[in-house]
Amino acid sequence: MLEAMSTSSLPDPHQDNDDLEEETALVHGLRFAQGTATLHTDLVAREEPLEIQLGATPLAVMMRTPGYDEELTLGLLQSEGVISGISDVLAVRHCSITPYPQADGNVIRVTLAPHVRVDHEALRRNLYASASCGVCGKATLENVLRAVPPLDDPARFEADFFSDLPERLRAAQVVFAQTGGLHAAGLCAPDGTLLVVREDVGRHNAVDKVIGWALREGKAPLTGHVLVVSGRISFEIAQKALMARIPVIAAVSAPSSLAISLASTAHLTLVTFLRNNSFNLFGETQRVFERITHSTDRASVAP
């Protein structure tokens, strides 16, 4: 229940997880090396389905890494425009499906406030589940811009703000360190503090968990914050950041063409290929560099 969601009851996002049973599984197999096969035991990321219900109505079934399911659900609903804040939600909790006790822990039910109206069929059309990417968002750029206006965020960042973000995110990936099999997303405050890190088999799920955490903590909208992700920046991740009003996304990998289009139209800043104190910028580049100066043999940037 939401009433139990106090800051004191939440885990420290930087604290090592002493009990990885919920997020990992011990597996047995064979390892082949140097012409020899041997018995091998390994720890892998756990992947299980989660059914999300609005009231008693099933909304979607998605693959995710168990843990922080309430945050994942809240972040997804905010990303899809179902809720605009925590006041739109009366309760979010796991429930059982009779007669399937094996589904316990894999069903979560949301009770919305009476003033919230949902077009269930339209919402279902905007969702699909996949083991590799979780639940994706709006199918087109036009649909996103109908749902939410472009950003008008005055935040500005020095270039060195981003230099150590990949290392700090990696250091907080407790389950990845054990399994090597999870994506991660983190949220940085305007002063550079890494507020929270969440991991999941689905890159979009990790982002939704971060946004859900911010909703629970009363930090939304996330003006002036930076979302940092462990992989590429897809259109869906850019959409989720825009819905949460996050002005900057930083990533160690590439953006997609549609993510760049959304960033340019909606005034998002994409910091990409972030490594070794270098990066590429797309979208609202003025948040990092106010102007670009050109010489005959190279282009340089001026802060």
pLDDT digits (tens, 9 = 90+) for 258-279: 889 899 999 999 999 998 788 9
Catalytic residue numbers, as ranges: 133
Q: Using CA of residue 13, residue 14, residue 18, residue 23, what is the dihedral sign?
A: positive
Tracing tokens 């996949």 back to the chain, one arrives at 130
At the top level of CATH, the class of 1-25+39-303 is alpha beta
Looking at residues 106-127, what average pLDDT do you find? Answer: 86
Q: CA-to-CA distance for 75 and 73, rounded, in angstroms?
A: 5
Q: CA-to-CA distance for 260 and 162, rounded, in angstroms?
A: 19
Q: Give the list of residues 6+ apart from residue 33 with CB closer than 8 angstroms, or none.
A: none
Q: H or E element: which one contains 170?
A: helix 165-171
Question: Residue 235: pLDDT band by 50, 70, 90 thresholds?
Answer: confident
Region for residue 91 given its phi and psi (left: phi exceeds 0; alpha: psi -120 to 50; beta: otherwise): beta
Percent of the chain surpassing pLDDT 70: 79
Q: Give the list of residues 6+ apart from residue 29 with CB closer than 8 angstroms, or none.
A: 39, 40, 42
Domain limits of the chain? 1-25+39-303
Task: Indicate the Cα dihedral angle 21, 56, 97, 214, nearest 10°.
Answer: 10
- Both tokens of residue 119? 């077009």
Looking at residues 207-220, what average pLDDT do you find? Answer: 95
pLDDT digits (tens, 9 = 90+) for 141-174: 777 888 889 999 999 999 889 999 999 999 998 8
Looking at residues 118-140, what average pLDDT do you find? Answer: 56
Q: CA-to-CA distance for 137 and 139, rounded, in angstroms?
A: 6
13-43 core/surface letters (b: 16 or more CB in 10 A; e: else)? beeebeebebbbeeeeeeeeeeeeeeeeeeb
Q: CA-to-CA distance for 138 and 127, rounded, in angstroms?
A: 8
Average pLDDT of the chain to the nearest whole number: 81
pTM score, whole prediction: 0.80
Q: Using DSSP, state whether 150 is helix, strand or coil.
A: coil
